[in-house]
């Protein structure tokens, strides 16, 4: 029986270039994941409002998620969970929209992005 060593893979695949997906696909994936995190945030706030029995409007509850203890001490873990969802979603959105802006500028000013052009 032949054993497989790490150097076997490296010597055979040395001349194969790394293929990146198109930059537009990467940007779309970041924006989509950001939207999913925003959906998770909305569902977390909805659950938090229902459990804490607060009568404030939904948009006010979304704003109060940032304030420590706004739903009471017993609901602090759920509030922090909702806050993590929106912060993570915002990071994904910023990266995704920055990549989409980069693609737009590349097409407007006719320069090629350094990676993943798909061409």
Task: State the chain's mean pLDDT as an integer.
Answer: 83
Rounded Cα distance between 35 and 37, Å, is 5
pTM beyond 0.85: the answer is no
Could you tell me the end-to-end alpha-carbon distance of the chain, in angstroms, rounded to an integer? 43
pLDDT at 40: 96
Q: Which two tokens stand for residue 31?
A: 């924006």
Better pLDDT: 22 or 37:
37
Better pLDDT: 116 or 60:
60
The band of 26, judged by pLDDT with boundaries at 50, 70 and 90, is very high
For the segment 55-106, what is each residue's pLDDT rounded down to a tens digit?
788 888 888 888 898 888 898 999 899 999 999 999 999 999 999 999 888 8
Residue 114: pLDDT above 80?
Answer: no
Q: Which two tokens stand for residue 18?
A: 């790394």
Rounded Cα distance between 41 and 65, Å, is 10
1-29 core/surface letters (b: 16 or more CB in 10 A; e: else)? eeeeeeeeeeeeeeeeeeeeeebeebbee
Better pLDDT: 16 or 8:
16
Q: What percent of the chain has pLDDT over 90?
A: 37
């Amino acid at each position: 029986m032949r054993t497989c060593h790490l150097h076997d893979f490296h010597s055979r695949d040395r001349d194969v270039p790394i293929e990146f997906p198109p930059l537009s696909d990467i940007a779309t994936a970041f924006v989509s994941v950001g939207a999913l995190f925003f959906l998770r945030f909305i569902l977390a706030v909805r659950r938090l409002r229902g459990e804490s029995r607060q009568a404030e409007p939904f948009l006010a509850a979304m704003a109060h998620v940032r304030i420590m203890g706004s739903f009471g001490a017993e609901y602090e873990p759920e509030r922090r969970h909702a806050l993590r969802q929106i912060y993570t979603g915002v990071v994904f959105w910023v990266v995704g929209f920055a990549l989409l802006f980069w693609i737009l500028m590349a097409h407007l000013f006719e320069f090629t992005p350094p990676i993943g052009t798909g061409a």
